[in-house]
Amino acid sequence: MRKAPKIILITAAALIGTGTVLSCGARAVAGFDTAACPP
């Protein structure tokens, strides 16, 4: 139970890191072209 906060923090860091890589990667591959990548 005492390890739970650590596990949650590590999971959160992994999610934020992976998400940033994925989203920035997708934008970069699209060439930061807003027409190709509407969001």
Partner 1 sequence: MTKQEFLSELERALGKLPHAEVEQALAFYDEAISDRMEDGLSEAEALAGLGPVDEIAAQIAAETPPIPRAIARANTGSRTLNIVLLAVFSPIWIPVVLALAAAALAVYVAIWAVIAALWAVDAVLALMPFAGLAALASTLGGGMPLPGVFAFGLSLVSSGFGLVASFAVFWASKLLFRATRSFARWIASLFVRVSGKDDDGEAPNRVKASGTPNMPAHAENTPSNHATLPEGGTRNA
Position 32 contacts partner 1 (CB under 8 A): no
Position 34 contacts partner 1 (CB under 8 A): no
Say how many C-beta atoms besides its own lie within 10 A of residue 37's C-beta.
14
Name the minimum Å distance from CB 25 to partner 1.
7
Position 30 contacts partner 1 (CB under 8 A): yes
Distances (CA, A) of 33 to 11, 12, 15, 23: 31, 29, 25, 14
Q: Which residues fall within 8 angstroms of residue 27, CB to CB, at 6 or more apart?
A: 37
* Binding-site member from 1, 2, 3, 39 for partner 1 (CB under 8 A): 39
Name the minimum Å distance from CB 7 to partner 1.
10
